[in-house]
Structure 1
Amino acid sequence: MSRIDVHQHLLPPAYTPWLRSKGVHAPGGRALPQWSPQHAIALMDTYAIGTGVLSLSTPGTWLGDGAEAAEISLRVNEFGAELVKDRPDRFGYFATVPLPDLDAAVAAATHALDELAADGVVLLANTDGVYLGHPGHDPLLAELDRRSAVVFVHPSELPAPPVPGLPPFAADFLLDTTHAAANLVLHGVPRRYPNLKIILSHAGGFLPYAAHRITAALVAETGRGYEEILQDLRGFWFDTALSGSPTALPSLLAFARPERVLFGTDWPFAPEPAVAHFTGEYDRYGGLDVAGHHAIDRANALALFPRFS
């Protein structure tokens, strides 16, 4: 029971009915799953997960109404705080903020981190087509930087029509995360806010595979040095959710700093058969020794979440 799963979702009792009332039934092309703390613990027990750090998936709480988004965010964050209070050994949570309402997002983040003991904040890669790292986000990022916060970046649907027959979660999510990572580096966020610990979902999307190509483009755009930009891209943390395959995992491990790779499942949006498949592939991967698996399973996460020790 040693694993710390940094990519696990929750669907509080008030949240799923609210989404359905707004016509949201399959965000990212995946039907809204069933969820409960009991089911989460049972899943974790099956896969040797001691603690799951919970977060909302896309679409978060912003559906166009700022006051409603702020209210739902507060209810979600209070639910997460109570869940952690009841089972601090099994759960952590990333607080939700109602971007693009910047003032409300700052207020929600500070309240959750200062009053509700959140373990960090989840931010979508893009909201209404504006990617994370846009200069307009600076007040929120500065507030999070002052608190040395962990920021979990989760993809959303692209600001473009989906490809018929290919649900957004299959490929668009990976591109969305890649866009966000590049945009963060383009705008110098890792250097301007060095206390942020930014986790990229799903092994960083396409970033490990395309990092050198993206670096060349950012050099041309910014005039900064190649190695400087490449190191900024390598400076993120990465989770293994849906990425334990024989092709994705070697690419991630060849690119990421070894101490910044974290275990993730994406349950329950990734159903249990998918968790079993990708976790099994990860467990069987011969490119990691026992110490390497332990680092990803637990030790690396303890640097971000020391309370889980």
Structure 2
Amino acid sequence: MTMKIDAFAHLLLPRFYEKMLAIKPELPQMFPFINHPHLLDFDKRRAAIPKDVKQIVSYVNINPEDYTDPETAANLCVEANNELIQAVESNSDIFAAGIAMIPMNNIPAAQSIIETVSKSHTLVGIQIFTRALGKSIADPQFRDIFEACARLNVPLWMHPIFDERKPDNNIVFSWEYELTQAMLQLVQVGIYKDFPDLKIIVHHAGAMVPFFRERMRYTMPADQFDDFHKFYVDTALLGNAKALELAEEFYGMDHIVFGTDAPLGIPPAGSTHAIIKAIEELPFVDTDKQKIFSTNIESICHRTF
């Protein structure tokens, strides 16, 4: 049986969650999606995903730097990453690897975590968000994060969050806009000029980019348009095969990884089955489908899962 590696799945581990609840009891009301039972209950998750799928897991977006001082945030991240390692290694039948959490209000501690990830057998990258501390992820304050990842060859997983300056955020469209804006901002500050080998995996198939590629071609400098092709993207489109075709046409077959956003998406357990079905129905040869399902993410992470 050839394994499919879901490169973008989520969880929430109990010790970390309890500590965050002690700091911010309103979290379940602020972010209703964190109440999904499969985030914490691995037996339910195990029963829901196909036997030929293993997940690379990252925490849902409860970010310590939003609620605590730099030292506390750093300690929470280190503890959360250790708990994640334990969870992955104890559930190796369903988990392939973990994505580390970093404290964006403590750059030296974040750099230390990135160095730890570069030597880890269980953690394969770090998770960043489209904004941090009220600023774009492309802000110069965060540049050293990208420098460390480029120097140590650690991939970044980019997840959207709401821009709190906007009064009309919504789960339908806002996150896709925020991903697209973050990509644009990173390209505009020359992130790929400075770090040409940097690997950033963008959630939700690169958001708006594949649909607006011709508008981009004619409204931005050619070198910036070219840099957009350097992002990697996942397949988390809830089974939208036509949208996946557009993503492949823009980013290329070598830059698409199987990712589902599990267990979120299609109730009750996520869209894993729907996304697999969509990929299987696409007019790609089997070797290209295998690139999506496992080969590309293994190449990005420099390991076989």
Task: Please classify the TM superposition score into its range, dividing by the shorter chain length.
Answer: 0.7 to 0.9
Aligned match of 2:178 in 146, 165, 176?
A: 176
Aligned match of 1:148 in 147, 150, 153?
A: 153
Map of 2:107 onto structure 1: 102
Query: Is 1:131 the equivalent of 2:130?
Result: no
Contact 1:126 1:132 (8 Å CA) reproduced: yes
Q: Residue type of the partner of 1:183?
A: Q
| Structure 2 gap segments, 5+ residues each | none
SS at 1:122 equivalent: strand
Contact 2:45 2:269 (8 Å CA) reproduced: no
Q: Return closer, same or farther for 1:232/1:288 CA change in 2, 3 Å cut-off.
A: same
Contact 1:29 1:169 (8 Å CA) reproduced: no
| Structure 1 gap segments, 5+ residues each | 220-225
Map of 2:86 onto structure 1: 82
User: 1 CA distance for matches of 2:8 and 2:270?
Assistant: 14
Query: Is 1:240 the equivalent of 2:244?
Result: no
User: 1 CA distance for matches of 2:77 and 2:264?
Assistant: 20
1:104, distance to aligned residue in structure 2 (A): 2.7
Contact 1:94 1:120 (8 Å CA) reproduced: yes
Q: How does 1:258-273 map to 2 (within 5 A)?
A: 258-270=253-265, 271-272=267-268
Query: Is 1:17 the equivalent of 2:21?
Result: no
Q: Residue type of the partner of 1:252?
A: A
Aligned match of 1:289 in 281, 285, 295?
A: 285
1:13, distance to aligned residue in structure 2 (A): 0.8
Contact 2:65 2:133 (8 Å CA) reproduced: no
Map of 2:118 onto structure 1: 113
Query: Is 1:251 the equivalent of 2:251?
Result: no
Q: Residue type of the partner of 1:240?
A: T
Q: Return closer, same or farther for 1:287/1:26 CA change in 2, 3 Å cut-off.
A: farther
SS at 1:196 equivalent: coil
User: 1 CA distance for matches of 2:263 and 2:182?
Assistant: 24
1:88, distance to aligned residue in structure 2 (A): 5.0
Contact 1:56 1:96 (8 Å CA) reproduced: yes
Query: Is 1:41 the equivalent of 2:53?
Result: no
User: 1 CA distance for matches of 2:172 and 2:273?
Assistant: 16
User: 2 CA distance for matches of 1:109 and 1:276?
Assistant: 29
Q: Return closer, same or farther for 1:115/1:298 CA change in 2, 3 Å cut-off.
A: closer
User: 2 CA distance for matches of 1:116 and 1:294?
Assistant: 23
Q: Residue type of the partner of 1:54?
A: V
Q: Return closer, same or farther for 1:45/1:247 CA change in 2, 3 Å cut-off.
A: closer
SS at 1:8 equivalent: strand
Q: Return closer, same or farther for 1:305/1:139 CA change in 2, 3 Å cut-off.
A: closer
| Cα RMSD for the two superposed structures | 2.5
Q: Return closer, same or farther for 1:253/1:13 CA change in 2, 3 Å cut-off.
A: same
Say which is worse superposed, 16-25 or 178-187, in terms of deviation. Answer: 16-25
Q: Return closer, same or farther for 1:215/1:92 CA change in 2, 3 Å cut-off.
A: same
- Count of aligned pairs between the two proteins: 297
Map of 1:223 onto structure 2: none
Map of 1:5 onto structure 2: 6
SS at 1:207 equivalent: coil
Q: Return closer, same or farther for 1:32/1:273 CA change in 2, 3 Å cut-off.
A: closer
Q: Return closer, same or farther for 1:278/1:4 CA change in 2, 3 Å cut-off.
A: same
Residue-by-residue CA offset, 1:205-263 (whole Å, 9 max, x unaligned): 112212343454442xxxxxx1x222210111100113530442122122111111000
SS at 1:94 equivalent: strand
Contact 1:245 1:281 (8 Å CA) reproduced: no
Q: Residue type of the partner of 1:24?
A: L
Map of 1:275 onto structure 2: 271
Q: Return closer, same or farther for 1:175/1:18 CA change in 2, 3 Å cut-off.
A: farther
Q: Return closer, same or farther for 1:293/1:28 CA change in 2, 3 Å cut-off.
A: farther
User: 2 CA distance for matches of 1:248 and 1:6?
Assistant: 18
SS at 1:119 equivalent: strand
Query: Is 1:69 the equivalent of 2:73?
Result: yes
SS at 1:133 equivalent: coil
Map of 1:301 onto structure 2: 297
Contact 1:186 1:218 (8 Å CA) reproduced: no
Contact 1:242 1:278 (8 Å CA) reproduced: no
